Chain A
């Protein structure tokens, strides 16, 4: 097997007196989908926020694409090629779809002989439409503020944003939360497509059927620590639940 794309060693994150992530280590290789499971408060979201540059871990090393990586800001992680879809979506409600897709990375156009820089709204709108089409998502109006959209549609925007920027690694935190059944299927389909393209995915979920549907490996966290790491094919729901509630624990996996 090739070098892992993402390599985390002994990562620890502490908030005040609370140890949210306790010496976590994991690898993610190209072309695989890793499921990160655990009950609420297990530390899954915190862990991936350390990878995406939102939090700075107290201890531990992260290596990405063969090099050690320190992501001081979310922009650093994005520039490195890590795209994250957060549980709360991190969308700006008062902006429209294309503004959200390009948030923080707006495309500019020079006018008046280079003196003035304005937003290239036309370009961003076209690109957004293309991306949404390629994901087979259709909206009624692309220029309305997204606060009018349903939960599923907002999820679609978040996904489109991550997909547009051609990630090397995709992290999804509970992506099927607001979705109806057909939409959930579409998300799972998308994950498979990404794997085919060679883009690895870290999928955080507590919905076991989803994990069984798309992941190659599952890692279970409990109270900030890794308590299990199994190939998906070699485990079952009851076993995973036992790990998740802390009734069972593998020695330093």
Chain B
């Protein structure tokens, strides 16, 4: 055994090997990062924010230029539109974030959203027609939509954890079952005949602002104005956005401040360690997939309120967008890392891009090409972290 000329500084675990390693920036051996490495890691964490900022800047400048000054990107109306646009993708992405952190995936979120839309529409219509006032009917609708969604999530979780079938396959299977159920429960894929009053819940806002003469601030209810005043009316904080904000805040709390969130990260970091540390893995997995389905359920209910109809076909295009938002937001597909705020940024990037392209009068199809490129860049940056740290590609042995 080579004689280690280490400095046993009374108490530190230090050997010459480690000292040499620290100087050479080999993190695996030294446990210490050089400043350059720290900077690179920091950049890799915030690149999505930077990209979003640059994109917004680009549109703010380019839109007025190409439209000869008649169109403006930096308006409150546009900002509110973008917030409304991210609601479905973000809600689907929230639950998906938790699931992907554990290195799983939920392919059923799109169709669960559709099912929830149908269930909530049926529930609202049924309870309103049997005499329940409007607001309680809406609550019943939410209960039905989110409850039905959570039931699907429960099934997903049980099959994945107890029967040990891979998440990809299970959620793929349930997505088909849910899709069929949604079609069958709806009447020719749409449920109509809902009370007109629910449109307010799905479209109105907390604050209405009318600038200029005769204007003012109005709260909670759409003011009954017409003509010029109506034209100048701006909304701030539409209700769906407020609901979504609450769900996002709750998700952040859950992930970063509770034991459940800690265990979620642990499951993604090392399933083995989680099991041997006594974490009730099966229970956690079931909760995770129920969570993922429940957020999709909320999205479905909000869609019903917005369009005053339950639709069983709304979820399909949103599934892949939700996964894209999660990946762009920095969640690694191999599990163990990711944040809720990252997914919010990812969803914003997609929405800002689409809106900006319309404002630039560019074919909105370009959004698909750009988003695809951004997703690939996100994955590359995620993998580059291994390179920066001097680890072999593929990460440390777990």
Q: Does A253 contact B (CB under 8 A)?
A: no
Residues of B within 8 A of A152 (CB): 13, 18
17 contacts between A and B (CB under 8 A): A52-B276, A74-B277, A88-B272, A93-B336, A93-B396, A94-B337, A95-B262, A103-B266, A106-B259, A118-B258, A119-B259, A153-B13, A156-B13, A180-B4, A180-B6, A180-B17, A182-B15
Least CB distance, A140 to chain B, in whole angstroms: 6
- Asked if A95 and B11 make an inter-chain contact with CB atoms under 8 angstroms apart, the answer reads no
- Asked if A91 and B257 make an inter-chain contact with CB atoms under 8 angstroms apart, the answer reads no
Given contacts A93-B336, A139-B31, 5 further A-B contacts (CB under 8 A): A90-B277, A92-B274, A150-B28, A182-B6, A186-B13
Q: Does B159 contact A (CB under 8 A)?
A: no
Task: Give CA–CA (A75, B30) in the complex, Å.
Answer: 33
User: Looking across the interface, which residue of chain B has its beta carbon closest to that of A179?
Assistant: B13
The contact of A74 among B3, B268, B276, by CB within 8 Å, is B276
- Asked if B259 and A108 make an inter-chain contact with CB atoms under 8 angstroms apart, the answer reads yes
Residues of B within 8 A of A139 (CB): 31
A137 and B13 contact, Cβ closer than 8 Å, known pairs A93-B396, A94-B336, A150-B30: yes
Chain B residues within 8 Å of A, Cβ to Cβ? 1, 3-4, 6, 8, 11-13, 15, 17-18, 21, 27-33, 253, 257-259, 262-263, 265-266, 268-270, 272-280, 336-337, 389, 395-396, 398
A150 and B278 contact, Cβ closer than 8 Å, known pairs A90-B273, A94-B269: no
- Asked if B278 and A117 make an inter-chain contact with CB atoms under 8 angstroms apart, the answer reads no
The contact of B4 among A117, A149, A181, A186, by CB within 8 Å, is A181
Task: Give CA–CA (A84, B396) in the complex, Å.
Answer: 22
- Asked if B278 and A78 make an inter-chain contact with CB atoms under 8 angstroms apart, the answer reads yes
Least CB distance, B1 to chain A, in whole angstroms: 6
Q: Does A148 contact B (CB under 8 A)?
A: yes
Q: Does A99 contact B (CB under 8 A)?
A: yes
Task: Give CA–CA (A74, B30) in the complex, Å.
Answer: 32
The contact of A92 among B8, B11, B265, by CB within 8 Å, is B265
- Asked if B276 and A90 make an inter-chain contact with CB atoms under 8 angstroms apart, the answer reads yes
Residues of B within 8 A of A186 (CB): 13
- Asked if B13 and A182 make an inter-chain contact with CB atoms under 8 angstroms apart, the answer reads yes
Q: Count of chain A residues with Cβ under 8 Å from any Cβ of B?
A: 42
Q: Which residues between 38 and 93 of chain A lie within 8 Å of chain B, taking CB atoms?
A: 52, 54, 73-75, 78, 84, 86, 88-93
Task: Give CA–CA (A54, B269) in the complex, Å.
Answer: 19
- Asked if B275 and A150 make an inter-chain contact with CB atoms under 8 angstroms apart, the answer reads no
- Asked if B398 and A93 make an inter-chain contact with CB atoms under 8 angstroms apart, the answer reads yes
Task: Give CA–CA (A150, B24) in the complex, Å.
Answer: 14
Most chain B CB neighbours (cut-off 10 Å) among A92, A105, A117: A92
Task: Give CA–CA (A241, B279) in the complex, Å.
Answer: 39
Task: Give CA–CA (A96, B269) in the complex, Å.
Answer: 11
Task: Give CA–CA (A71, B11) in the complex, Å.
Answer: 38
Q: Does A104 contact B (CB under 8 A)?
A: yes
Least CB distance, B272 to chain A, in whole angstroms: 6
The contact of A148 among B1, B15, B33, B259, by CB within 8 Å, is B33
Most chain A CB neighbours (cut-off 10 Å) among B1, B263, B277, B279: B277
